[in-house]
Structure 1
Amino acid sequence: MHSVTPTPSGDLVAVVLPGSGSDALFVRSAFDAPLAAVGAQLIAPDPDPGRGVVAGYRSALDEALRTVRSMTSDTRIRLLVGGVSLGAHVAAGWAARQGPAAPVAGLLLALPGWTGAPADAPAARSALVTAHQVRASGLDATLTALRASAPRWLATELARSWTAHGDGLADAFDEAAATPAPGAGVLRGLPVPAGVVACVDDPVHPVAVARRWAELLPRARLVETRLDAVGADPATLGRAAVLGWLHASTR
């Protein structure tokens, strides 16, 4: 699926997972340059609605870990893991299950949608509503409604990625809305440095959730930005996550 080779600096590989309905193209546009600036190679897996988005993401993380552990270089390769929204949930939960012996150097957690069970979180409600609209009205009508309500850049981005999901789009949204995020106890037990990102003007991913994650994680730094800044330059999101991780690494 994804091969891992040593980075120019020889020690960092980053696996960053897309959000619900998003894809690897957006992750690369947001994280590639900021990670390259700290000498990290980016792996951005595409979602696979056919096998299950969450299962595919966990498989990509497992594969990266196996590959890193199999390397015989004198240089110790370490992993950064993270994601956007659902991707952040999956990455943090996966990291918590690896234990202290895993070569996880840190977390890049952008726009978490909830903590623990989805309950009535705005991101979960939005996913369920979108899944219903796609099934009831079709993708074209759903995209028309999206363009009428979302910022132009976001509507254009989602139109591309939602179309690429094909017939599995509605199921992918249902899966995202039903998947628990790490709970408070799990987050408290993650000792690695973490950069947590919130967009203060994002009603779907409330800034209060990101702030709560940053409070619960033992070594975390919250960095706030805005959706319009991400629209102007997607790398704003990646820079915020990497900056938060760098600051958290000094704690």
Structure 2
Amino acid sequence: MGTGGTATLGPMFDSPRPAVVVALPGTGSDAHFARRAFGPASAAAGLDFVAVDPDPDAVIESYRTALDDAAVRGPVLAAGISLGAAVAVEWAAGRDPADISGIVAALPAWTGPDTADCPATLSAAATAAQLRAEGLEPVLARMRASSPTWLADALTRSWRSQWPGLPGALEEAAQYKWPEPALLDALAVPLAVVAAADDPVHPAIVGREWARRAPRSALAEVTLAELGADPAVLGRLALRHLG
């Protein structure tokens, strides 16, 4: 499914207007990409916006701290990509629903704590091992040779900015236990899921499961080509119901 009329997003279920949108990057990514993904749609909706740069020495905690800090201002719309989406869901599940306007889960990678077959987990662990064995530049060169230009450029920037803490950040992501099905089943706040129909690392079937399980959910799908051409498609699809 592409962007041309294929999204199934609707109104945000009478949730409070966000005081701030907090954008959380995926594994190995950075605030720059999260800003490109969600900043334009937030600006168009007149919403305050914060993109979080992960602390490579404490990725998950840095995301949770940013969300806690933002909640002081009022209801948060937590917009995460991949790992950031999972952290957003788990953070929201432990908060008073009044603190949360909604969640955007872009490219969720897995469901449940058993990640032995999770492509994102396996990729993060393998990349961390290569970085520790070879250093940054040889691994970057191989990544660039095997990735689309848009992704290679984004990861080159973020990996260099997180070096030398990058291997530890990837290992933390590889050890992360993704949200349990029961957590999604009981999620009290609106969840907008954006899946990539052709992404082997973030299988679309996972995004569809998250949307099916969450009681107040909506689903849209893109292709990797659409995402690469314009990362802001994630924000447009997920936030357009804020009108």
TM-score for the superposition, normalised by structure 1: 0.86
User: Retained in 1: the 8 A contact 2:28–2:166?
Assistant: yes
Q: Distance in 1 between matches of 2:176 and 2:229?
A: 31
- Whether 2:107 is the aligned partner of 1:107: answer no
Give 1:36 shift.
Answer: 1.7
User: Retained in 1: the 8 A contact 2:21–2:78?
Assistant: yes
Q: Distance in 2 between matches of 1:167 and 1:160?
A: 13
CA 1:11–1:137: 2 relative to 1, 3 Å: closer
Give 1:45 shift.
Answer: 1.2
Structure 2 match to 1:191: 188
Question: Which runs of 5 or more structure 1 residues have no equivalent in the other structure?
Answer: 1-9, 69-76
Structure 1 match to 2:46: 39
Give 1:11 shift.
Answer: 5.0
User: Retained in 1: the 8 A contact 2:93–2:188?
Assistant: no
The CA RMSD measured in Å over matched residues stands at: 1.6
Structure 1 match to 2:226: 229
User: Retained in 1: the 8 A contact 2:18–2:100?
Assistant: no
TM-score for the superposition, normalised by structure 2: 0.89
Residues 17-65 of structure 1: per-residue CA shift (max 9 Å, x gap): 1111000011111111111222211111110012x10011111111111
User: Retained in 2: the 8 A contact 1:24–1:46?
Assistant: yes
User: Retained in 2: the 8 A contact 1:225–1:240?
Assistant: no
User: Retained in 2: the 8 A contact 1:12–1:39?
Assistant: no
Q: Distance in 1 between matches of 2:21 and 2:177?
A: 23
User: Retained in 1: the 8 A contact 2:18–2:101?
Assistant: no
Q: Distance in 2 between matches of 1:240 and 1:90?
A: 20
User: Retained in 2: the 8 A contact 1:82–1:92?
Assistant: no
Higher relative contact order (CA 8 A, sep 6+): 2
- Whether 2:112 is the aligned partner of 1:121: answer no
Q: Distance in 1 between matches of 2:143 and 2:30?
A: 18
Give 1:205 shift.
Answer: 0.3
Q: Distance in 2 between matches of 1:112 and 1:96?
A: 16
User: Which one-letter code corresponds to 1:55 in the other structure?
Assistant: E
CA 1:11–1:122: 2 relative to 1, 3 Å: closer
Give 1:236 shift.
Answer: 1.1
Residues 181-213 of structure 1: per-residue CA shift (max 9 Å, x gap): 211111111122111011111110000110110
Q: How does 1:68-147 map to 2 (within 5 A)?
A: 68=73, 77-100=74-97, 102-117=98-113, 118-147=115-144
Q: How does 1:43-54 map to 2 (within 5 A)?
A: 43-50=50-57, 52-54=58-60
Structure 1 match to 2:171: 174
State the identity as a percent. Answer: 49
User: Retained in 1: the 8 A contact 2:23–2:79?
Assistant: yes
User: Which one-letter code corresponds to 1:116 in the other structure?
Assistant: G
User: Retained in 1: the 8 A contact 2:79–2:88?
Assistant: yes
Question: Which runs of 5 or more structure 2 residues have no equivalent in the other structure?
Answer: 1-16
Structure 1 match to 2:7: none
TM superposition outliers: structure 1 runs of 4+ over 6 Å: none
